Amino acid sequence: MFSKVLASFGQGGAKVDAQLIDHSVRPGGPLRGQVMLVGGQVDQEVQGLGVTLLARVEQADARGDVSLVDMPFQNINLASNAVVRAGQTLTVPFEVHLPWETPITTVLGKHLTGMAIGLQTALDLGGSMADPQDIDAVAIEPLPAQHRILDAFARLGFQFRAGALEKNKITGLDQQLPFYQEIRFAPSPAFAQAFLEVAVTFLAGSSGMQVVLDVQKKVRVGKGSGLGPQARPFMGAFPVDYARVGATNWEQQIEGWLREVARPRAIFD
């Protein structure tokens, strides 16, 4: 369907529509498509035509209240200072290179609850823009190494709970985007008494990635919180070399790290 340009241009305005060629892509790879631009009943000047990748991100304000915002993280300018003639149809191909840290939205075609990545098409006709709500969803599958880590969690009995993007930086790690993804799991039966939740974050690059595990560990007493169920965060990271991902028993490595975290460390743990 075409998105109508909001402003009225005499006898009719141009229409624009983005069509994705790649219906499933991976981080670090290309997202290809084309923009169909159809002229209206009068000639019009195209001051700008482009596509932008948007991510729906959790953002906290100064008071700690969290809201969802659509944050651009990659954009491509396709045309400027051109003229679309009345009734003319133009096809403009595009290719967007996805950052390596682009969040995952699907696994084996199944959507991850809580994730939203979209491609927005922007058409500027003398200051009037196409509907900013016209966003095409993009399905982003995990890299093979990411899929292997997620599979290890499934084999260990962890159940996927939800995905989320947080506008923040992880201290001490090389992070390119202003937000990061958390893939949150309910603990397996073996860790249900120790953990409330385990979240996985991938900080991927061209040859390897950092896997960040953020564990919400149950504690009997929280400092200054009195008695009752409490949780304490524990975070750790380990590197993954894409070339050697098949040489490691990831179930064993992940389980070993989690058992170390689950081990009582103090009287109140």
pLDDT per residue, tens digit, the chain (269 aa), is 333 443 344 345 778 888 999 988 999 999 999 998 888 778 888 888 899 999 999 998 888 888 999 999 999 999 887 788 888 888 899 999 999 999 999 999 999 999 999 999 988 877 655 555 568 999 999 999 999 999 999 999 999 999 999 999 999 999 999 999 999 999 999 999 999 999 999 999 999 999 999 999 998 665 555 555 578 899 999 999 999 999 999 999 999 999 999 988 665 55
What is the extent of the structural domain holding 7? Answer: 3-137
Identify whether 267 is part of a domain.
Answer: no
Cα separation of 187 and 33, whole Å?
40
Identify whether 148 is part of a domain.
Answer: yes
Cα separation of 159 and 187, whole Å?
7
pTM of the complete model: 0.86
Identify whether 268 is part of a domain.
Answer: no
Q: Are 99 and 25 in contact (CB under 8 A)?
A: no
Identify whether 175 is part of a domain.
Answer: yes
Q: What is the DSSP letter of 5?
A: B
Q: Are 237 and 253 in contact (CB under 8 A)?
A: no
Q: Are residues 8 and 107 in the same domain?
A: yes
What Cα–Cα distance (Å) separates residue 17 from each residue in 3, 7, 115?
6, 17, 23
Identify whether 82 is part of a domain.
Answer: yes
Q: How many domains does the chain have?
A: 2
